[in-house]
Amino acid sequence: MDGANIRKALSMMDERGSGEGAGYVAYGAFPEFAECYAIHVFFDTVHETKPAVDQELAKWGTIIHEEEIPTYEQQNLRKIHTPWRYFFLPDPHLMPRSTTPEDDIVMHLVMKVNTTIPGALIYSSGKNIALFKASGWPEEVADFYRIQDYKGYLWLGHNRYPTNTPGWWGGAHPFNLLHWSVVHNGEITSYGTNRRYIESYGYRCSMFTDTEVVAYLFDLLVRRHQLSPEIAVKALAPPFWDDIDRMPEKVARLNTAIRLTYGPALMNGPFAIVVARPDAIVGFTDRIKLRPLVTGTSGSKLYISSEEAAIRIMEPGVGDITMPRAGEPIIGRVVA
Amino acid sequence: MNTVRIDARGMHYSLLNTAIRKAVASGVREIIVDNVMGQRFIADGLKGDATLTIHGVPGGDLGMFMSGPTCIVHGNCDHAPGNTMDNGKIIIHGSAGDAVAHSMRGGKVFVRDNVGYRAGIHMKQYMEKRPVLVIGGSYRAFLGEYMAGGLILSLGDPAVHPHTERGIGSGIHGGKIVIRGNIDEYYLGVGARTFTLSNEGMDEIIPLIEEYAGYFGIDPDPLIHESYTQVTPSSSRPFASKYTWE
């Protein structure tokens, strides 16, 4: 799928945004560099800041290819950062005690650059993943990067209405870390608790907004703790205690254990979230359903959206439009 | 000219509403809108007695503040159709999203199939104004949340849509929710209590069942012979102690 369709879907929901941030992510966008980590950086000024990032990357591996991300001037979109992408191969020998040395090196680089090199922000770092975001309306951001020129097997798109934090390029969704990308409607009122918890595992929040903790929580729970996406969602949006009391004993014990183990990962507040990784996509809402989520399928395609019309504009023949229950994960797995 | 047909394909909601208002102002009684796709706020604040037939999927807040007209939707609705509606009717041949009939003040909303979370949230009533929401399929949690007046009637078959959604009438302090079958008290919200629907209560809902059945072409008799549970506030001021010191 190229990016033209998802642009159309987002433009159905312009009322949900304020023109201060929009973005897209495409999985499978760089087949010629599929094995490399596609490290995306916003530079304030390339000549001042880039040498420091180059130097940091060179410490940990090899830059196979790099380029300024092509952009196309838009009337209302001010290019305040220069988006750049590196195709990077980390050297696994440099992280000898890790079971996932490449991922850990790249995660370290993201945290290091974003907290110690002013004027540089790594906003995406996964293999074969292209991320496009900026401050603007969804149509402008799509045209700014010409996302119709990219193809992917999995796309996320987002239109932001910043409420509690300022709109800026880094604060636009999707958020990405390694193989995870996240789009989010709502607010995570438990951000403080979640942030303290995730930072105790070495993650550093640097985007000035709540959504990035979701990417880090999924990385911790699913990649590092190896929970299934179903169990991870139960940790983030668990059943109520009184519902757990009415479950069969074994199920109740499992749910109790998850809540007790992952208490600080529980996310409060209104949210509808979609998380993607290369082999799957999961959508879920907060447990009292304070934000909308609609799903539909057509053949082997799964659509998850805030509104039914956005799905129908992409897929007029969509079959089974459904509204998932609060806290119920909708999981799509990549086939073939 | 008594009928106007509008093709809404690719049309912004403000232009669509301008076209609808213009038609109504010129005395048109029947407006057919085709190819609706996500346009919000259709017929908002519209007055009069025109009938709008909508083909497609309208966006949120269909018929908000509407006073008088009838909207017949052939398709699903997004969030909050009938939001703060004052009078008139919305008849949905399909399902609707969350917060259906949000803060409704008068008129009637009929949903053939399912509604999302918080249907009928903060419906209210005053003197002759008494809004009605009729649901043919399933409802989700917090049905009639903070309800202050009006009537919600849920006709869904409990064998198909079991009553397992929490928070029915959570914070209810006026109005009435009538649900087909029995409700386990566990699923009631704070401040709500249940009774079996009385004969007088039945007399009140029979015309609504007949009206629902008429719109959607079904036989009302089996529904009329079902038993119903009524959910109402546990007292006239269930939350007095929370906000006042007397």
Dist CA A237 CA A265 (whole Å): 9
Residue B17 lies in a domain: no
CA atoms within 13 A on the CB side of B233: 17
Residue B81 lies in a domain: no
Test A12 with B186 for CB contact under 8 angstroms. no
A269-311 pLDDT, tens digit each = 999 999 999 999 999 999 999 999 999 999 999 999 999 999 9
Sequence-separated (6 or more) residues with CB below 8 Å from residue A316: none
Residue A332 sits in the same domain as residue A189: yes
Structural domain for A113, as ranges: 1-173
Examine the fold and report which residue of A139, A173, A207 is the final residue of a domain before the chain moves on.
A173
Residue A13 sits in the same domain as residue A127: yes
**For chain A, which residues lie within 8 Å of any Cβ of chain B, measuring from their own Cβ?**
12-13, 15, 240, 242-243, 246, 288-289, 292, 294, 307-310, 312-313, 321, 323, 325-326
Structural domain for B236, as ranges: 95-241
Q: Which helix (H) or strand (E) holds A275?
A: strand A271-277
CATH number at residue B202: 2.160.20.60
Examine the fold and report which residue of A155, A173, A191 is the final residue of a domain before the chain moves on.
A173
Of A313, A274, A296, A294, the residue nearest A186 (C-alpha): A274
Per-residue pLDDT of chain B (246 residues; tens, 9 = 90+): 689 999 999 999 999 999 999 999 999 999 999 999 999 999 999 999 999 999 999 999 999 999 999 999 999 999 999 999 999 999 999 999 999 999 999 999 999 999 999 999 999 999 999 999 999 999 999 999 999 999 999 999 999 999 999 999 999 999 999 999 999 999 999 999 999 999 999 999 999 999 999 999 999 999 999 999 999 999 877 777 776 665
Q: What is the ipTM score, two decimals?
A: 0.94
Residue B61 lies in a domain: no
* Residue A218, pLDDT score: 94
Residue A8 sits in the same domain as residue A111: yes
Chain A CB within 8 Å of residue B78 CB = yes
Test B98 with A292 for CB contact under 8 angstroms. yes
A211-227 pLDDT, tens digit each = 889 999 999 999 999 99
Q: What are phi and psi of B66, to 5 degrees?
A: -65, 145
Q: What percent of chain A has pLDDT over 90?
A: 93
Residue A114 sits in the same domain as residue A263: no
Q: Which SS3 state, helix, strand or coil, does residue A234 take? A: helix
Closest residue in chain A to residue B117, using alpha carbons only: A289
* Residue B237, pLDDT score: 78
Domains held by chain A: number? 2
Residue A190 sits in the same domain as residue A334: yes
CATH number at residue A139: 3.60.20.10
**Buried/exposed code over A32-56 (b: 16+ C-beta within 10 A; e: otherwise):** ebeebbbbbbbbeebeebbeebeeb
Residue B122 lies in a domain: yes
Test B37 with A321 for CB contact under 8 angstroms. no
Residue A164 pLDDT class (50, 70, 90 cuts): confident
Chain A CB within 8 Å of residue B141 CB = yes
Looking only at Cα atoms, what is the longest distance across chain A?
A: 62
Chain A CB within 8 Å of residue B76 CB = yes
Dist CA B134 CA B120 (whole Å): 10
